[in-house]
Amino acid sequence: TRDDIALRLKEDMQASLAQVIPASLHDNDILANPLTVNDPNGLPVTVYRGAMGARVNALAWEVVGQGYAGDIRLLMGLNANGEILGVRVIAHAETPGLGDKIEINRNDWILGFNGLSLGNTPQAQWAVDKDGGRFDAFSGATITPRAVVGAVKKGLDWFQANRTAIVNAPMVTTPVMEE
């Protein structure tokens, strides 16, 4: 039923958010009160904010890269200073055995973003190694990691441009419900 599907989607998003925003950084229900901010094209971006009380400590939102076989949808989490807490693949159609190495359950490559920010990683390093950057390209599947790196970099640029509005927007907190 429609309610079952909605519940499943909510559970999936909660599980993904838990991978990119550590529980130690928030005491609110991150899904309960998302913030909507426009991207450079005027399209809405849903930002999930983790807070302790009214202080925003972490944020997550979806970014998209153009892979070999279509869109690669990613969820990226940052602390309030713009340091990456985690990046996870939400959906993709990349080639099994090649491009699917972006998935955490297939390879730890995606963990290479953890701890990075625009402040601690030079601009030129936001590329795959074949392009002079710091991120490994997969043999036979360079397009896929190139798309992921590009999407994450665009996400960081967007956050930097919108940081004040996102972090300082009024925070309506809903406590985490214990199950």
What residues have CB less than 8 Å from 151, skipping those under 6 apart?
63, 64, 65, 72, 74
* Tokens encoding 154: 């665009």
Beta bridge partners of 133: none
Query: What is the spatial distance between Cα 104 and Cα 110, in angstroms, rounded to a whole number?
Result: 6
Dihedral sign for Cα atoms in the order 113, 154, 121, 123 = positive
pTM score, whole prediction: 0.91
- 14/16 Cα distance (integer angstroms): 5
Interacting residues of 42 by C-beta distance below 8 A, sequence separation 6+: none
Ordered per-residue pLDDT tens for the chain, 179 residues: 888 888 888 888 899 999 999 999 999 999 988 999 988 888 899 999 999 988 999 999 999 999 988 999 999 999 999 999 999 999 898 877 878 899 999 999 999 999 999 999 999 999 999 999 999 998 778 999 999 999 999 999 999 999 999 999 887 766 666 55
